Amino acid sequence: MSTFQAPKGTYDLLPPDSAVYLAVREAIAAPLRRAGYGYVETPGFENVELFSRGVGESTDIVTKEMYTFTTKGGTRLALRPEGTASVLRAALEANLHKAGNLPVKLWYSGSYYRYERPQAGRYRHFSQVGAEAIGAEDPLLDAELIVLAVDAYRSLGLSDFRLLLNTLGDKTCRPAYRAALQDFLRGLDLDEDTRKRIEINPLRVLDDKRAAVRAQLTGAPRIADHLCEECKAYHEQVREQLTAAGVRYEDDPHLVRGLDYYTRTTFEFVHDGLGSQSAVGGGGRYDGLSEMIGGPELPSVGWALGVDRTVLALKAEGVELPLPRATDVYAVPLGEEARRALFTAVTALRRDGVAADLAYGGRGMKNAMKSANRSGARFALVAGERDLADGVVQLKDLDSGEQTPVRLDELVATVKERLR
């Protein structure tokens, strides 16, 4: 055992579990690619100000959870706690919004970092797949992204997730709601930190998960009662398009999400089989974020889906993904001449698209066949000096036990036919 272990709140992703994570990432990405979203990759760390401005000074992410450090040159950096601010920064820096084809559609996948109390479903290092549509204000775009997320979950076989939906208004109607909410919250019995939050961003209090706070929020003003006509009409179009696409949702007037940059549409996917950490993904519209980080006005919308949480949701529902075999053919050489010959055969199989492996290290027949069975391969490829002298190898079906000789020059074609 190593002297070192993974840092607290993190995990190592190893086979065979890693195959499930890869399958989840691919399932989430597939609908995005079909909808014209291009892949983007950003650094694992950014300037602290990018997140303090964009995510919000009053959020737990910025005040309590960011990993920050100072470089040798004196620059303050932070490990990225979320993806949207980084992707928008990258799009602005590359002037993608000036190419004349809006919205700019991007998707990404990676690890993110928050200093939190580790528990099941909540880690200090976690994996997400996200999507952003930058530069267009259109309720159909909001609906598109939600539908793509729903289709991804359904393609994985998930059925017990719920979609919570809300609108947060915009700069026209939110100020009146903000004032009404502040008046209400100031009359509650809240701790000093929460009272400070009332003055900075009172909507953040609605996102408080503590039971003592939530119990006092009954009767809080509802954003729906303060929306301007444009925001009402916008939200109704989002709802209509979701219904037309066969997507069920629940209106949640208290849903604000954990980031300051959201405007209008906000949504969250929850799974009741995950206990307290029920959120598996979410997002919303962030029309003012570009200006917050020094860019032009670029109305945008996006989401991030947690890979870790989605894997837990699959386990909660008892869904087993149909994963491809890691190895189709496992070669077992008997003798030095066979080692060289089967290495050539394995290379030919791989080059023709067949997953193949070889018993390395000069192991005996018994140990090598154990490895073949453990590999999950469909076939074992066995050869000794006599087989090679006859120009054949033995192809053994590890499911049925049937073994047949196959000519070396026909091996690739025969294996591919048998695998079909």
Q: How far is CA 253 from CA 140, 181, 272, in A?
A: 21, 13, 19
Report phi then psi at 110, rounded to 5: 175, -175
Let me know if residue 396 belongs to a domain.
yes
**Integer Cα distance of 343 and 357 in angstroms:** 9
Provide the pLDDT for residue 257: 67
Query: Same domain, yes or no, for 49 and 148?
Result: yes
Q: Which residue has the tokens 């920050």?
A: 68
Cα dist from 188 to 103, 214, 254, 262, whole Å: 43, 11, 17, 25
306 and 334 together in one domain: no
**In a shared domain, residues 76 and 153:** yes
Domain of 406?
A: 329-419
Task: Answer yes or no: is 324 within a domain.
Answer: no
Q: Specify if 187 maps to a domain.
A: no
Where does a domain end: 317, 347, 373? 317
| Positions of the chain with pLDDT lower than 50, given as ranges | none
Q: Is residue 155 domain-resident?
A: yes
Domain boundary among 317, 347, 370: 317
Q: Are residues 46 and 137 in the same domain?
A: yes
Q: Based on the domain organization, do 367 and 308 belong to the same domain? A: no
Q: Which two tokens stand for residue 342?
A: 């089967």
Task: Write down the pLDDT at residue 260.
Answer: 61
The answer as to whether 129 is a domain residue is: yes
Q: Check whether the bond before 31 is cis (ω within 30° of 0).
A: no
The answer to whether residues 103 and 70 belong to one domain is yes
- Give the count of beta carbons closer than 10 Å to the beta carbon of residue 33: 12
The residue among 281, 258, 254, 279 whose CA lies nearest residue 201 is 258
Distance in angstroms (rounded) separating the CA atoms of residues 290 and 84 = 11
CATH code at 303? 3.30.930.10
pLDDT at 353: 95
The stretches of 9-155 forming alpha helices (DSSP H) are 17-34, 48-54, 60, 84-93, 139-155
Looking at 261, 282, 317, which one is the last position of a domain? 317
Q: What is the pLDDT of residue 375?
A: 93
Amino acid 256: pLDDT: 78
The answer to whether position 12 is within a domain reads no
> In angstroms, rounded to a whole number, what is the distance separating the alpha carbons of residues 333 and 342?
7
pLDDT value at residue 53:
79
Domain of 354, CATH number, reads 3.40.50.800
Same domain, 252 and 378: no
Do 362 and 246 have their domain in common?
no
pLDDT of residue 87: 97
Sheet with 45-47, side-by-side order of all strands:
45-47, 76-79, 68-70
Question: Same domain for 356 and 409?
Answer: yes
In contact, 204 and 193? CB cutoff 8 Å:
no
State whether residue 289 is helix, strand or coil.
Answer: helix
**What per-residue confidence (pLDDT) applies to 232?**
95
Are 261 and 84 contacting, i.e. CB atoms less than 8 angstroms apart? yes
Together in a domain, 112 and 256: yes
In this structure, is residue 199 part of a structural domain? no
Residue 274 sits in the same domain as residue 408: no
Q: What is the pLDDT of residues 111-128, one digit of tens each?
A: 999 988 777 768 899 999
One domain for residues 42 and 160: yes
Do residues 303 and 266 make contact, with C-beta atoms less than 8 angstroms apart?
no
Backbone φ and ψ of 5, nearest 5°: -130, 160
Contact 329, 18 (CB under 8 A): no
**Residue 214 maps to a domain:** no
- Identify the pLDDT of residue 211: 86
Number of domains comprising the chain? 2
The identity of residue 128, as a single letter, is: Q
